[in-house]
Amino acid sequence: MKNRHDKILEVLTKNQRVEVAALADMLEVSQVTVRKDLDRLEERGLIRRRHGFASLESADDVAMRLAYHYNTKRRIAAAAAAEVADGETVMIESGSCCALLAEELANTKRDITIVTNSAFIASHIRHAQSAKTILLGGYYQKNTQVTVGPITKACAEMFFADTFFIGADGFSKEFGFTGKDHSRAQTVQDLAGTVARVAVLTESKKFSRQGVVRLLRTERVAALYTDDRIPPDIAAFLRNRNVVVHTVGASE
């Protein structure tokens, strides 16, 4: 079933909107089965159901970004989750890879506590029985579904997390990991100041871009989880600065 859900997300990523009958033909299952699959994907906040078809939202929507290159992002998330032990407390910022990491931790670890400023992540893993979720307060950004600002920082200072996992919108050797929203970038910097270890989860394509604002300097990052299409010179640059680079196979 999980593989079928992955295929549905890949189809929707390419087409944005697909009829139930067409999905049933592609997957060689009944329309009843497809409808059940779509119901479960909608419960997870990944798609939107309409009469007779399924769709993704706009490119700015968290679910839309999560569905794009879903298989690769899920492998990245699984690699990061493998480094987290049962009983740990982790802090997770927003982002599609980070949302899948939270899901992986919630489903595979025991007594895990997830501290996050992402309302999407909190909702995404709300059905997990063994995970505790702490949603940080602050100014709520509706489009990204995250909280930012001094209240978020003050809330985070109440907790001790073993690792802070973040996403990134770009990278440069001069500035380090970068983002595109000043408020979110400041919040990442504030939250990073409350933990000893920071790890970045992002697809390799982000290394061909540079965001408009710095998230964190390279030396502040302990580990990177990405796919094996990361440019070799970037991987070498990071390793030379004591960043442990973990790579997974990229989907076609």
Give the model confidence (pLDDT) of 16-25 as tens digits. 788 988 888 9
Asked, colleague to colleague, whether 2-56 and 69-248 share their fold, the answer is: no
Mean pLDDT of the chain: 89
The pLDDT, as a whole number, for residue 243 is 98
Please give the CATH number for the structural domain made up of 2-56.
1.10.10.10
Q: Is the pTM of this model over 0.85?
A: no
| Cα–Cα nearest to 116, from 141, 77, 90, 82 | 90
Give the model confidence (pLDDT) of 192-251 as tens digits. 999 989 999 999 999 988 888 999 999 999 999 999 999 999 999 999 999 999 999 986
Give the model confidence (pLDDT) of 158-189 as tens digits. 999 999 999 999 999 999 999 989 999 999 99
Residue 79 has pLDDT above 90, yes or no: yes
What are the sequence ranges of the domains in the chain? 2-56, 69-248
CATH architecture of the domain formed by 69-248 = 3-Layer(aba) Sandwich (3.40)
Residue 4 has pLDDT above 90, yes or no: no
Give the model confidence (pLDDT) of 113-163 as tens digits. 999 999 999 998 988 888 999 999 999 998 889 999 999 999 999 999 999
